[in-house]
Amino acid sequence: MWLSEKERRKRYVEGAVISALRLYRHWRKRGVSSDEAFARAVKQALGMIEASGMSEEEVRESLKELKTIVDAILKSLGNSSKRR
């Protein structure tokens, strides 16, 4: 499957979010406070996002899309638990 450069960059930004989540969990398991682990994970994600070469506007658009999907999933999960 061939991906355009723009699509590869979007996927890299999306991957930065997943990587940050994993890094957050890693630091928490190592006993780092939640706030510090969060700060470290965000710093790492921002570095990755900067390296993507996407404009800030493109990054914001991709992150908003990701947030919309996550919010919809959470809402659906909430609705399905109410039906049980």
pLDDT tens-digit map of 66-84: 999 999 999 999 887 666 5
Q: What is the pTM of this model?
A: 0.82
| Parent domain of 66 | 5-83
pLDDT of residue 81: 65
Long-range Cβ pairs for the range 12-17 (8 Å, 24+): 12/48, 12/51, 12/52, 13/48, 13/49, 13/52, 13/54, 13/59, 13/62, 13/63, 14/62, 14/66, 15/48, 16/44, 16/45, 16/48, 16/49, 16/52, 17/45, 17/63, 17/66
Q: Indicate the number of domains in the chain.
A: 1
For the stretch 47-59, pLDDT in tens is 999 999 999 999 9
